[in-house]
Amino acid sequence: MLGFLQWGLTTAASFLFVLTIVVTVHELGHFWVAKACGVAIDRFSIGFGRAIARWRDRDGVEWRIGWMPLGGYVRFAGDDNAASLPDGDDLEAMRARIIEREGPSAVQRYYHFKPIWQRAAVAAAGPFANFLLAIVLFAVLLMTVGEVKPPARVDGVASGSPAAAAGFQAGDIVLKADGRPVDSFVDLQQVVALRAGAATEFLVKRGERELVLTATPRRQTIVDRIGGEQRVGVLGLQSQPRVEDYERHRYGPVEALAGGVKRTWHVLDTTLYYLGRLVTGQENADQLGGPLRIAQTSAAVAQVGAEGAHGLGEILLGSGVALLGLVAVLSVGIGFMNLLPVPVLDGGHLLFYAYEAVARRPLDARIQAAGYRVGLALLVGLMLFATWNDLQQLRVFKILGGLLS
């Protein structure tokens, strides 16, 4: 029982740590750009529901922490909902109310009456703040913790594997996979994992010559280091790193920043590639995860980071550093998702502003509201589907079935 409680506390604390950082930075992106554009802001909230803590700054903005820490929002003056939709069909009616209540000069402080480019900048600021967070975190980790990169050297080839059929041999060093430079065996595994069933070219160095081998990764269920099951592509290549392969390399500021940009782009590029294969039916949607998967991964990453630590301070430091890497990866995903042209997401607002720029008038508020409801339904449906996948992966139904039988 004590072990279960400890696991529960670790999971909850890790999940809240990761989610709070990602959400707070996202909303701060909206907030800072809105402030720079002179937009009147009523509230900045982390979490939903009744406030467990609140205060006001000198500009009159209410800062609050809600009891349900599963998101956050910035509420601009005049907004009745989180979608920033006008109250009525006619913005002139809103303008008249503002003038009557506060005078003509107050109109330009309201978000809906800002130029299109400013509203678009505010909408895009959240996702781009997530990308910037990822770059900064990756760069800081490269400067402080550094990285260990065992070379993409083939130390063994499984008999009957796709690698054996393609002609890989022990001693080969993989330089490129699918045209992408490969710096380590981990890089190679990441490329192969997403290419199950797809013929892939590998540039290999064998002795003093280079040659191209073509192999088709085979889909296989594996258990990763954090205990999750994944159906990914495998080649059958084996690596046995030597002591000298574990040399840790720490980067200088400029090199680390470039590395942060490179890693952020790699996560984004991998996400786009996976979604492309998902849409074309080459990947299964059962790998899509939701909050439960994030919580499980957060706890597992925290435990891996604490391995070998002595004392509470070292445990917290190790777990915190490991979780920052997860925050960076998740931040890229949240930033990308919010740029999708779906009403209720930031990308949906950008879509509406693009229409307004072309048509020279806002889209009818009723259409915006209908789009918002459709987008919300799609988002809720996706979350339910992802949660179902999470429950399946966690074997919740099998466990319940065993208890009830």
CA atoms of 155 and 188, how far apart (whole Å)? 14
CA atoms of 145 and 162, how far apart (whole Å)? 36
Among 47, 50, 51, which residue's Cα sits nearest to residue 20?
47
What DSSP character marks residue 243?
G
- H-helix or E-strand spanning residue 342: none
CA atoms of 211 and 223, how far apart (whole Å)? 32
Q: Which residues contact 116 (CB under 8 A, 6 or more apart)?
A: 353, 356, 357
What DSSP character marks residue 153?
B
CA atoms of 313 and 316, how far apart (whole Å)? 5
Q: Report the SS3 class of residue 266.
A: helix
DSSP per position, 157-205:
E-TTSHHHHHT--TT-EEEEETTEE--SHHHHHHHHHT-TTS-EEEEEE
102 is catalytic: no
What does residue 308 show for φ and ψ, rounded to 5 degrees? 80, 0
What DSSP character marks residue 47?
E
What DSSP character marks residue 208?
T
Long-range contacts: 209-217, Cβ < 8 Å, 24+? 210/175, 213/166, 213/167, 213/168, 214/166, 215/162, 215/163, 215/165, 215/166, 215/168, 216/162, 217/162, 217/192, 217/193
Among 4, 15, 24, which residue's Cα sits nearest to residue 297?
15
Residues 137 and 324 sit within 8 Å (Cβ to Cβ): yes
DSSP per position, 248-261:
EE---HHHHHHHHH
Q: Radius of gyration of the chain from Cα atoms? A: 25
Which amino acid is it at 374? Answer: V
| Residues carrying an active site annotation | 27
